[in-house]
Structure 1
Amino acid sequence: MTQTAIPFHFLRGGTSRGPYFLRSDLPADEATLSEVLISVVGAGNPRNIDGLGGGNAVTTKVAMLSPSKEPEADVEYFFAQVSVEERLVDYGPTCGNILVGVGPAAIEMGLVKPTGDETPVRIRAVNTGALVEAIVQTPGGKVNYDGDVAIDGVPGTAAPVGLNFLDVIGSKCGTMLPTGNVRDVIDGIEVTCIDVAMPMMIARASDFGLTGYETQDELDANTDLFARMETIRLEAGRRMGLGDVAKSVTPKIGLLSRAREGGHFCARYFMPWNTHPTLAVTGSQCLAACALTPGTVAEGLVEPIGASPAVVRIEHPMGVMEVTVTFKRDGNDFQFISAGVIRTARLIARGEVMVPAAIYAPGR
């Protein structure tokens, strides 16, 4: 036998997609696991020609599921961001879009049994410790993917998957404002370093000489922009207590501008070495928290947001994402409590993915 067959489900979650595995079907040690995932995705090639990846950071993501060891959750979700052009795997962050597919995948894999027309699935994100409840449509005891919910960045419509984020403050850094400041100045640029669901470094697009309405392709072609942002991001990561983040995708980067399509504000989200085609689910919560917090770099750019609970509308390159947030605000005293989104998912394929036995051969 020259190859090892590994069972998998392949799902679109939100505006990302990738393979979903049972963690028990993969090698336990991280070094071998990384080699397996690199092979599965085909990392190290811009087209991922020898794997399942799609040549973009939103299509080189992997979810690994297992039964939860704690009563508060049903499933543990371990996320891996596999690089496109480098043979690199980052286990530091989580992914909210791939998280959208975790509830459906857990039911498809038999980890969770349907409980009626809707099945709640409580998910512990292993990478960050966050607890999330997914509401999956399961009429007749099976996951339903057909529906009339449309999300910008995905063609057509599908059944809704509700995500309620129950524990999002200080997901990686332990506190919402890990530098202790609502604004820091790094290399002459004002930034807000904030951790709500995803650690981020957020700045104003205009401070980088941008309008904030550039397309994904225009931004990705701006190599000077990425070099400038990366220098600042590395220092932001150090100040946030994340250490040397040169090979980590966190903190992510967000650039803000005024809304022009009826939203509350406009954002461009970076992953961080290329531009997200839409907006990450976790990033959207962090951006919403930044917009609501007095004194951040978002101040003066955001249209008035109503009382809690409020729906924050964030414009992105392909449309708008809505985030429902609950919070307490009394003057400059602000407390972010929770966030929720409605997204969609779809099972695209299932079967076995082949990995060279020289990389992984159980029992050998």
Structure 2
Amino acid sequence: MTQTGIPFVFMRGGTSRGPYFKRADLPEDRGTLAEVLLAALGSGHPINIDGIGGGVAVTTKVAMLSPSEDDWADVDYFFAQVSVEDRLVDFKPTCGNILSGVGPAAVEMGLVTPTGDETEVKIRAVNTGARVLARLQTPGGTMRYDGETEIAGVPGTAAPIALNFMGVVGSSTGAFLPTGNLRDTFDGIEVTCMDVAMPMAIARAEDFGLTGYETVEELDTNREFFARMEAVRLKAGKAMGLGDVTQSVTPKFGLFAPARDGGTICTRYFMPWTTHPSMAVTGSQCLASCALTPGTVADGLLVRPTQSPANVVLEHASGTIEVLVDFEMNNHFTLNSAGLLRTARKLADGHIYVPSSVWKGR
């Protein structure tokens, strides 16, 4: 069997991992592109034995980079979520953890030239149109990965990557509150449907008979909860204008509970058919915005910060994540930007091989 080799950089970005490609090295049409990504990741098997996926949703993600077509940005970042077993590729969402590795990957690929000891990379998220400013450590013009920054869900420490997200409100649906309501009720469950960086349906854990402090394993084995949550998610997706989301990972789902470890509020995040082991960067912005907005399902679960910028500390299954939210509160909550600190590390580079029967290459 002949194979087609595709250049790639393999990166951990935040608490996710996957291959980073140059968009120009991949098929142009979406159908063939999807088949190439399915083959590269090994989708269709629970441990992705015939590809480089890791058997869970946070390790079957793909970044595709190119020089930006936007006058503001340096790099266009096109994201794909590849399913572990179902041979599906979703091009609708974006991923903020994988985005953490976009700046370093762009440097490694020669798409960005370091400008000194610190390099700013302006990134346009193609899937949603969001603009993100990433600040990288590049001492002597070389990408630095070692450092003292620790993030929950990743062992050890690494060099900090500061991300500032702009233009993320209504990025998928065109509205901060896609249904026009602060709360909706589906199957007897009150939810807030919100679109900030990632469209989400957010509920209180207690309304599902949960504490909100369950472990990932406890939640993933609670199939009755997942069935109830999915039924609510499908109705929320339709109400948000996203149509039939049966085979789409958006909207994502989140749960709130009162903080118990010194944070602002306790959260759990779903991808949506499994529990996230920590927290998505995009989801953290939506959850933080929901927590800060009066009238949402977060009411009564936290002492709401009133001064901007506010440091919102979200407790999650692996620890905490901090979101620095710049906002205005007049008649309603208005998000200006959200900042987070992440890390990334280059793991490998070279070529990924897919059967030539899938794609013969350019």
Normalised-by-shorter TM-score class: over 0.9
Taking the aligned partners of 2:334 and 2:348, their CA distance within structure 1 comes to 42
Q: How does 1:60-75 map to 2 (within 5 A)?
A: 60-75=60-75
User: In the alignment, which residue of structure 2 is the partner of 1:345?
Assistant: 344
Q: Which deviations, in whole Å up to 9, do the C-alpha atoms of 1:10-31 show, x marking residues without a partner?
A: 0000000000000000011111
1:170 alignment partner in structure 2: 170
Map 1:321-340 onto structure 2 (within 5 A).
321-330=321-330, 333-340=332-339
Aligned to 2:213: 213
Partner of 1:108: 108
CA distance in structure 1 between the aligned counterparts of 2:305 and 2:316, rounded to whole angstroms = 18
Equivalent residue of 1:218, what SS?
helix
Q: Counterparts of 1:92-107 in structure 2 under 5 Å? A: 92-107=92-107
1:33-44 correspondence runs (5 A): 33-44=33-44
**1:47-62 correspondence runs (5 A):** 47-62=47-62
Q: Give, in whole Å, the separation in 1 of the partners of 2:21 and 2:321.
A: 28
The answer as to 2:180 corresponding to 1:180 is yes
239-248 or 332-341, larger mean C-alpha shift: 332-341
Q: What SS is found at the alignment partner of 1:359?
A: coil
What SS does the corresponding residue of 1:53 show, helix, strand or coil? coil
Deviations 1:269-293, CA, capped at 9 Å, x for gaps? 0000000000000000000000001
Matched, 1:303 2:303: yes
Alpha-carbon distance in structure 1 between the residues aligned to 2:3 and 2:219: 40
> d(CA) in 1 for partners of 2:335 and 2:177?
12
One-letter amino acid matched to 1:49: I
Q: Distance between the aligned counterparts of 2:342 and 2:57, measured in 1?
A: 19
| AA partner of residue 48 (structure 2) | N
CA distance in 2, matches of 1:285, 1:116: 30
SS in 2 for 1:268: strand
User: Matched residues in 1 for 2:341 and 2:315: separation?
Assistant: 16
Pairwise CA distance, 1:198:
0.4
**CA offsets per residue over residues 32-62 of structure 1, 9 Å max, x none?**
1001000111001110111100010000000
- Matched letter for residue 252 of structure 2: K
Map 1:80-229 to 2 at 5 A.
80-229=80-229
What do the CA deviations read for 1:157-182 (whole angstroms, capped 9, x no partner)? 00000100011110101010010000
Name 1:235's counterpart in structure 2.
Answer: 235
Q: Does the 8 Å contact 2:292/2:304 carry over to 1?
A: no
Deviation, 1:142, is: 1.0
* 2:332 partner letter: D
Q: Tell me the distance in 2 between the aligned counterparts of 1:333 and 1:199.
A: 19
Shift, 1:333, TM fit: 2.6
Q: CA deviation at 1:304?
A: 3.4
Offset at residue 335 of structure 1 (A): 1.4
Alignment map for 1:306-317 (pairs within 5 Å): 306-317=306-317
Question: 3-state DSSP class of the match of 2:343?
Answer: strand
State the alpha-carbon separation in 2 of the partners of residues 110 and 226 from structure 1. 43
Cα distance in 1, alignment partners of residues 343 and 289 from structure 2: 23
Deviation track 1:306-325 (CA, whole Å, cap 9, x = no partner) reads 51011100000110000000
- Which residue of structure 2 lines up, in the alignment, with residue 31 of structure 1? 31
Runs of 4+ displaced beyond 6 Å: none
* Alignment match, 2:320: 320
Comparing 58-67 and 305-314, the one that deviates more: 305-314
| Distance across 1 between alignment mates of 2:86 and 2:342 | 30
Rounded Cα–Cα distance in structure 1 between residues aligned with 2:332 and 2:233: 28
**Deviation of residue 362 (structure 1)?**
2.2
Q: Which letter maps to 1:255?
A: L
Distance in 1 between residues matched to 2:211 and 2:191, nearest whole Å: 17
Counterpart residue number, 2:256? 256
Classify the secondary structure of the residue corresponding to 2:285: helix
CA distance in 2, matches of 1:260, 1:70: 43
1:16 correspondence with 2:22 = no
Task: State the shift of 1:151 in Å.
Answer: 0.3
Whether 2:360 is the aligned partner of 1:361: answer yes
Partner Cα distance (1:298, 1:52) in 2: 39
TM-score norm. by structure 1 comes to: 0.98
User: Deviations along 1:54-87, whole A, 9 cap, x unmatched?
Assistant: 0100000000000011210000000000000111
SS at 1:229 equivalent: helix
Between Structure 1 and Structure 2, how many residues are aligned?
362
Q: Could you tell me how far 1:303 is from its partner in structure 2?
A: 2.8
CA deviations 1:75-121 (Å, max 9, x no partner) are 00000000001111000100000000000000110001111111111
Counterpart CA distance in 2 for 1:177 and 1:290 is 10
Q: Give the whole-Å Cα distance in 2 for the aligned partners of 1:137 and 1:336.
A: 28
SS of the residue aligned with 1:272?
Answer: coil
Identity of aligned residues (%): 67
Report the secondary structure of 1:133's partner residue: strand
1:125 is displaced (CA, Å) by 0.4
